[in-house]
Amino acid sequence: MHKKCQKRVEIGRRQFLRGSGLAAAGAAAAAMAPAGRAEAKGMTARGDYPSNRLANIKDLKVDEPMDIAYPDDDSPGVLLKLGKRVDGGAGPDGDIVAYSVMCPHKGYELEYNAEDKTLNCPGHYSRFDCEKEGQQIFGHANQSLPMFSLRIDEKGDIYAEGVDELIYGRFENIRS
Amino acid sequence: MTFKRGNNRLPIPPKDAKVHNVTCDFCIVGCGYKAYTWSIDREGGPKASENAFGVDLNEQPGPDGENWVNPAMYNIVEQNGEPVHLIVKPDPDCVVNRGLNSVRGGRMAETRFSAQTGSMADRLTTPLVWRYSQHLPTSWDDALSLTADVTRRVIEEMGQDAVLVTMFDHGGAAGGYENTWGTGKLYFEAMKVRNCRIHNRPAYNSEVHATRDMGMGELNNAYEDAELADTIFCVGANPLETQTNYFLAHWIPNLRGSTLDKKKAMLPDEEHASGKIIIVDPRRTVTINACEKEAGKENVLHLAINPGTDLVLLNALLTEIVNNGWQAKDFIAAHTKGFDEAFEANKTSVEEASRITGIAADDIRKAAAWIAKPKANGKRRRTMMAYEKGLIWCNDNYRTNAAIANLAIATHNVGREGTGCVRLGGHQEGYVRPSDAFIGRPAPYLDDIILSGKGGVHHIWATDQFKSGLNASKFRREYRRRTNIVKEAMSSIPYGDRDAQLDVIMNAIRRGGLFSVNVDIFKSQIGDAAHVILPAATTGEMNLTSMNGERRLRLTEKYMDPPGEAMPDCLIAARLANALEESFRKAGNDAWADKFKGFDWKTEEDAFMDGYHKHAKGGEFVTYDRLRAMGTNGVQEPVVGYENGKLIGTKRLYTDGKFGTDDGKAHFFKTAWRGFDPADRAKQKEEYPFLINSGRKNMIWQNAFYDERLPFVWERFKLPPIEMNPDDMKKLGLEAGDLVEVYNNVGSTQAMVYPLKTAQPGQCFMLFAAPVGQHGNIVSQGVNELRIPNYKNVWANIRRIGRAPDADAISFKELEYPQDI
């Protein structure tokens, strides 16, 4: 359902087998498409996030997830129109949300399930509710899913402007 | 609103951060972690040369990155009185968890006491005593001498049996070898206290008496066996939620087929396939769903058994296996006793079993084949049998436990690679105590003693019976009534006149009062009723040894100070023993005073050397230094030697076919079906429409003593969830998030409705030992012949009270990972 970064998922699955009899899967997965890192240094308040244009409202259809990256290209996410007003939803219908898709447990890429509007981890079965600000429904992460805060301007352009939890793999969301 | 930490950044541990071995506080799996501590004034950098992990932290790691630290793994604590940064991170080099953390263990850092960040701010920091009508801080000397004086007066006037004790018997936090020895030496050696109970059951007994009586200890294999098994036979357990990383790191790879190479390499003379799994559980759990996803539905057999009828199934499986000639005839002849008699007594046809258990006859036959039908060339199958509370806290504990052990020895599924007949466990283990044989069998029913007004003083160690007991509302009422008699008496005169205090306390006890002493890390619910509260240190605040579910012994090193004046339990026991000696000595009773010698320990290591080193099997080889050198992988017990700087352990037990009985043989037991035990449950089943099963939820550890203080968990569990089938909800006019009363002939309690399509009609599942709605309120006092309770087979009715507070902020979606995604 969620096509992007299949490579990441597969590498992850192989790594999960490590130590259980198969040959080691080799080096850790390289980050996808490293480029265009946001400019920021040291301690960051939430206000210091870059304002990055993700899409226009017209580009979104209900339950068709759009692949995005925020706050830099190494941090894949998803932009979603849910078709129903939700907590933290942006846009005229209050139904547009964006989340990190790296599981905050062990970094496997989450897959969107339109049937119940959840993001799901193929690594260890954790589930996050897209209609509840990424609340972990079941799983092993010690936090709910990082949600990107959105601003929508008068032209309908959607900007990501912040993140409410630490993103998987990082000691700081905006890397120095 | 979903709770978010709003945390953008964590300090990076510098290259010279101190690194400490840690075994997880919580479940029996005992995942390996490392604690990093360093000065509050410094931090490392993202470059490989600048941080403790030696990697470039600016590189975005792929999945299973070994060096990510989430905010729950970070805190600021004190070390030797100075604030330090703390990170507690899963250890990728630990063979138990291979770098995985569960949702529980991953929160070890944020569940530490921190005066700086405010986490667990209400940890007990000083002793408290009841004076001037409230719990007030006091000195250790004052609290201990009051406890000792009252205990002495009770012994002098009422005898030793009036000393009642509730104490942990396990490992991990609130337990461990140091602390079970400290308390055990006090109550079983210095004193001979018969009237005691354990944290989760009302007597001092084993949850698995039967398998031990048959000669087979309940933790007899290695976690690796789950990777090597042809079939895993799992009864009454939900390991994805309760032994998470054992399941994820050892069961799942087998079911997925990724241990095939290992199987072929280690066991070359037989055919191998991906693992199959049979799960016996009335519920469809997330474990079953995960197994189906990984193994394919054709390799997963879920036997959704009628609650309480496991014994019938186990007997029928044995019958079917023997009828097919699949039993291990040579092994039975050489290493067991009583097979023919037991087989005759337990004979149960598949059809009869199907009628009683509700499981299709063909599924029972299929299970028998998956367990024991030989592989090509007549090679014996390797089946690992695992069970936990669905068997232990269920109907007819003793016979059912024996029945699964019968099955294991009849098929020689113990003592070989890929086998084992094991409980999955709750806490880690860490038991070394002087003999408790004087207690006898059945052990006294402590709750009954308290309810019948007997006993004078009650010492409680790290246990909250108000949350985890049975017949819990009645117990709470009676306990408060009895302890209040003493509280009122104590408040009636000035505190400082000890002799007068002792007189009014004893007078109150004579009138039915009970003096209560509570050792814990927080003021617990039962602790609120106590007269003396003593602050304990927990793991990480002391050095602590325990063993996990494959008997893996490790030392968790002290990495921070305990809060305030809190002390390790073993040292509290020692100081209490010193105070008792002094009290008896002052009273001129040298005979009693002399009983309390040998408690001159200064450190927890002293208690370890006095206890484990001298008394555990193989303990003579083990010291703190040697264990420290074994790191987070430790050594599997029993330890058999020390060579080349390493402790030598034992991978699995009974490999030589010698068992723990007088004749060295495994004994088959007769385990004929007798219906419901206690018998009142059969009547309850007729009278009430809903089974109220109970157990654990993934996010919550034990009775939620940490979780209730953490918004990440508590926003979802302010009230214990009760999982219900949506059709049942419709009939009762209930919505997700409704607050309901659950009531029966025993009592009533409260819960929050959580709809699950996978819940069977008429069968509900409620969180066990919750702080704000005890399932135990509706569990009758009835126990089996050895005083093991049946918490699982409880029936009740349900009615709406209103809307649960903050329910609209909670996600009530299905728990299962969608397989068709």
Our CA angle for B175, B180, B186, nearest 5°, is: 135
Buried/exposed B668-682: b ≥16 CB within 10 Å, e otherwise: bbebebeebbbeebe
C-alpha of B654 from chain center: 25
Q: What is the mean pLDDT of residues A9-19?
A: 35
Question: Contact at 8 Å (CB) between B236 and B429?
Answer: no
Domain ranges in chain A are 3-33, 52-163
> Residue A13 — very low, low, confident or very high, per pLDDT cuts 50/70/90?
very low
How high is the mean pLDDT of chain A?
81
The answer to whether the Cβ–Cβ distance between A28 and B65 falls below 8 Å is yes
pLDDT digits (tens, 9 = 90+) for B186-200: 999 999 999 999 999
Distance from CA of B3 to the nearest CA of A (A): 8
Task: Report the share of chain B in percent with pLDDT over 70.
Answer: 100
pLDDT digits (tens, 9 = 90+) for A56-115: 999 999 999 999 999 999 999 999 999 999 999 999 999 999 999 999 999 999 999 999
B51 bridge partner residues:
B14
Report how far apart, in Å, the C-alpha atoms of B786 and of each of A148, B253, B469, B677 are: 57, 39, 17, 12
Assess A175–B contact: CB distance below 8 Å, yes or no. yes
pLDDT digits (tens, 9 = 90+) for B722-752: 999 999 999 999 999 999 999 999 999 999 9
Residues with Cβ < 8 Å from B118, sequence gap 6 or more?
Answer: none
The answer to whether the Cβ–Cβ distance between B818 and A113 falls below 8 Å is yes
Output the CATH code of domain A52-163.
2.102.10.10
> Residue A42 — very low, low, confident or very high, per pLDDT cuts 50/70/90?
very low
E strands present in B295-335: 300-303
- Please tell me the distance from the alpha carbon of residue B734 to that of residue B286, in angstroms, as a whole number: 24
The answer to whether the Cβ–Cβ distance between A166 and B9 falls below 8 Å is yes
- Chosen for mutation from B69, B813, B816, B819 (greatest number of chain A CBs closer than 10 Å) is B813
- Please tell me the distance from the alpha carbon of residue B225 to that of residue B93, in angstroms, as a whole number: 19
- Please tell me the distance from the alpha carbon of residue A87 to that of residue A147, in angstroms, as a whole number: 11
Q: Give yes or no for a cis peptide into B678 (omega within 30° of 0).
A: yes
Which residues in chain B are contacts of A175 at CB distance < 8 A? 46, 58
Residue of B4, B58, B63 lying closest to A107 (CB–CB)? B63
Pairing of strands A127-129, B795-803: unpaired
Dump the DSSP string for A17-32. Answer: TTTSSSPP--SPPPPS
Going by C-alpha positions, the residue among B426, B448, B309, B313 that lies closest to residue B792 is B309
- Please tell me the distance from the alpha carbon of residue B312 to that of residue B743, in angstroms, as a whole number: 29
Both tokens of B157, joined, read 């006037």
Residue B269: exposed, middle, or buried by beta-carbon count in 10 A (0-12, 13-18, 19+)? exposed
> Residue A48 — very low, low, confident or very high, per pLDDT cuts 50/70/90?
confident
- Please tell me the distance from the alpha carbon of residue A146 to that of residue B164, in angstroms, as a whole number: 50
Specify the 3-state DSSP secondary structure of B583. Answer: helix
Residue A23: per-residue pLDDT: 33
Assess A94–B contact: CB distance below 8 Å, yes or no. no
Distance from CA of A57 to the nearest CA of B (A): 24
> Number of Cβ pairs closer than 8 Å across A and B?
210
- Please tell me the distance from the alpha carbon of residue B120 to that of residue B103, in angstroms, as a whole number: 18
- Please tell me the distance from the alpha carbon of residue A45 to that of residue A62, in angstroms, as a whole number: 33
- Please tell me the distance from the alpha carbon of residue A98 to that of residue A49, in angstroms, as a whole number: 15
Residue A2: per-residue pLDDT: 40
Q: What is the mean pLDDT of residues A156-163?
A: 97
Question: Contact at 8 Å (CB) between B303 and B633?
Answer: no
Going by C-alpha positions, the residue among B218, B217, B244, B250 that lies closest to residue B232 is B250
Long-range contacts of range B644-651, CB-CB < 8 Å, 24 or more positions apart?
B647/B621, B647/B622, B648/B621, B649/B551, B649/B553, B650/B551, B651/B222, B651/B224
Phi/psi for A118 (5° steps) reads: -130, 155
- Please tell me the distance from the alpha carbon of residue B452 to that of residue B446, in angstroms, as a whole number: 10
Could you confirm whether A2 is annotated as catalytic? no
Residue of B7, B64, B262 lying closest to A165 (CB–CB)? B7
Residue B679: per-residue pLDDT: 80
Residue A1: per-residue pLDDT: 38
HEC letters along B480-498: HHHHHHHHHHHHCCCCCCH
Strand arrangement of the beta sheet that strand A66-69 belongs to: A66-69, A76-81, A96-100
Q: What is the mean pLDDT of residues B590-596?
A: 98
pLDDT digits (tens, 9 = 90+) for B121-175: 999 999 999 999 999 999 999 999 999 999 999 999 999 999 999 999 999 999 9
The answer to whether the Cβ–Cβ distance between B811 and A131 falls below 8 Å is yes
Residue of A1, A120, A165 lying closest to B817 (CB–CB)? A120
Which residues in chain A are contacts of B63 at CB distance < 8 A? 8-9, 11-12, 15-16, 29, 103, 106-109, 123
Sign of CA dihedral B179, B182, B185, B187: negative
Going by C-alpha positions, the residue among B753, B781, B700, B682 that lies closest to residue B470 is B781
Dump the DSSP string for B258-304. Answer: TTHHHHHHHSTTS---S-EEEEE-SS--HHHHHHHHHH-GGGEEEE-
pLDDT digits (tens, 9 = 90+) for B781-793: 999 999 999 999 9
Q: How many CA atoms lie within 13 A of B228 on its CB side?
A: 21
Give the length of chain A: 176
Could you confirm whether A105 is annotated as catalytic? yes
> Across chain A, which distance is largest between two alpha carbons, in Å?
57
Both tokens of B191, joined, read 């004193």
The answer to whether the Cβ–Cβ distance between A171 and B814 falls below 8 Å is no
- Please tell me the distance from the alpha carbon of residue B733 to that of residue B647, in angstroms, as a whole number: 62
Which residues in chain A are contacts of B250 at CB distance < 8 A? 20
Going by C-alpha positions, the residue among B550, B213, B170 that lies closest to residue B386 is B550
What number of other Cβ atoms are within 10 A of residue B799's Cβ? 12
- Please tell me the distance from the alpha carbon of residue B43 to that of residue B739, in angstroms, as a whole number: 48
- Please tell me the distance from the alpha carbon of residue A170 to that of residue B56, in angstroms, as a whole number: 11
pLDDT of A16 higher than 60? no
Both tokens of B697, joined, read 């939820």
B693 bridge partner residues:
B765
Distance from CA of B222 to the nearest CA of A (A): 14
Q: What is the mean pLDDT of residues B484-508?
A: 98
Q: Give yes or no for a cis peptide into B638 (omega within 30° of 0).
A: yes
The answer to whether the Cβ–Cβ distance between A142 and B106 falls below 8 Å is yes
- Please tell me the distance from the alpha carbon of residue B148 to that of residue B498, in angstroms, as a whole number: 12
Q: What is the mean pLDDT of residues B456-468?
A: 96
Residue B431: per-residue pLDDT: 97
E strands present in B610-747: 635-636, 641-643, 646-648, 666-667, 690-695, 721-724, 738-743
The answer to whether the Cβ–Cβ distance between B63 and A106 falls below 8 Å is yes
| pTM of the predicted model as reported, rounded to 2 decimal places | 0.95
Q: Which of A2, A4, A81, A105 is catalytic?
A: A105
The answer to whether the Cβ–Cβ distance between A133 and B817 falls below 8 Å is no
The answer to whether the Cβ–Cβ distance between A144 and B712 falls below 8 Å is yes
User: Using only C-alpha atoms, what is the Rg of chain A?
Assistant: 16
Number of helical (H) and strand (E) elements in chain A, helices listed first? 1, 10
Which residues in chain A are contacts of B811 at CB distance < 8 A? 129, 131-132, 135, 137
Which residues in chain B are contacts of A105 at CB distance < 8 A? 101
Task: Tell me which chain B residue has its CA closest to the CA of residue A89.
Answer: B1
The answer to whether the Cβ–Cβ distance between A111 and B9 falls below 8 Å is no
How high is the mean pLDDT of chain B?
97
Question: Contact at 8 Å (CB) between A110 and A116?
Answer: no
Question: Contact at 8 Å (CB) between B746 and B688?
Answer: no
Task: Tell me which chain A residue has its CA closest to the CA of residue B71.
Answer: A166
Going by C-alpha positions, the residue among A77, A147, A141, A144 that lies closest to residue A105 is A141
The answer to whether the Cβ–Cβ distance between A129 and B70 falls below 8 Å is no
> Residue A12 — very low, low, confident or very high, per pLDDT cuts 50/70/90?
very low
The answer to whether the Cβ–Cβ distance between A140 and B716 falls below 8 Å is no
Going by C-alpha positions, the residue among B582, B463, B567 that lies closest to residue B196 is B463
Which residues in chain A are contacts of B105 at CB distance < 8 A? none
- A 31-90 near B (Cβ less than 8 A): 31, 34, 43-46, 74-75, 87
pLDDT of A38 higher than 50? no
> Residue B676 — very low, low, confident or very high, per pLDDT cuts 50/70/90?
confident
Distance from CA of B800 to the nearest CA of A (A): 24
- Please tell me the distance from the alpha carbon of residue B136 to that of residue A38, in angstroms, as a whole number: 55
- Chosen for mutation from B56, B817, B819, B820 (greatest number of chain A CBs closer than 10 Å) is B817
Specify the 3-state DSSP secondary structure of B775. Answer: helix
- Chosen for mutation from A112, A116, A125 (greatest number of chain B CBs closer than 10 Å) is A125
Q: Which residue has the tokens 């014994």?
A: B311
pLDDT digits (tens, 9 = 90+) for B518-560: 999 999 999 999 999 999 999 999 999 999 999 999 999 999 9
pLDDT of B422 higher than 50? yes
Residue A176: per-residue pLDDT: 74
